[in-house]
Amino acid sequence: MYIVVFIAVIIFGLVMYSFTFKDIETPKYQVLKTFGKVEIRKYPNLILAQTKLGSSEYKSSGNNGFRTVANYIFGGNSKQQKIAMTAPVIMNMGDSASMSFVMPAEYEMDDLPKPASDQVQIQEQESKTLAVLRFGGYSDDEKIRKYAERLEEVLNENNIKVKGSLLYMGYNAPWDVVKRRNEVAFEVSGY
């Protein structure tokens, strides 16, 4: 009986804890058009801290890539400066697989400290237009593929041309158990 109560208290605590971190900065974007659940979004220029991945598989590369870039924002840099976490964490799932954190909007390129690790690069990403499909729950490679296929179907049905590789965007900490937000996206042209 005590075990059941203990587990219930832990689950309740995790749910409540997941509601305390909802004020994480996200990039401002403009929704240009919608096709059902698919949004065509215009993103501004962004500054990214990025690392290359050995594989485009979420399961095999996601954690290592996350830790590498997280080390940079947690002080693994020339100034030992902590940088606020933002969302989403972006995983390029193409041949040149990478994991990126968006830097807070308050920073310019020259303001950011140099990474202590040569595995992390700071770069400015030009404004992009993305077609995005949101889904909930915890992510895995199968789920990402399933939603990417749905997104591609909608884009094909509407004669929207894809540029580049599949992007996976995750918005939640691992301990968030409710209202999880995940997205798959492709850069598109013609908007």
Question: Number of C-alpha atoms within 13 angstroms, CB side, residue 167?
Answer: 23
Q: Give all domains of the chain, ordered by start, each with its CATH number.
A: 2-188 (3.20.80.10)
Residue whose structure tokens are 């080390």: 71
- What's the distance, Cα to Cα, between the start and end of the chain in Å? 59
Confidence (pLDDT) at 10:
54
Q: Where are the alpha helices (DSSP H) in the chain?
A: 2-18, 58-73, 141-157
Average pLDDT over the chain, rounded to an integer = 90
d(CA 79, CA 48): 18
Opening angle at CA 124, ends 121 and 127, nearest 5 = 145
Q: Which residues pair with 47 in a beta bridge?
A: 124
Per residue in 116-171, pLDDT (tens digit) is 999 999 999 999 999 999 999 999 999 999 999 999 999 999 999 999 999 999 99
Q: Which two tokens stand for residue 97?
A: 């697989």
Confidence (pLDDT) at 5:
46
Question: Number of C-alpha atoms within 13 angstroms, CB side, residue 163?
Answer: 8
Mean pLDDT for the stretch of residues 68-95: 97
The DSSP symbol for 179 reads S
Per residue in 1-25, pLDDT (tens digit) is 666 544 544 554 444 444 444 579 9
Q: Note the pTM of the prediction, 2 decimals.
A: 0.86
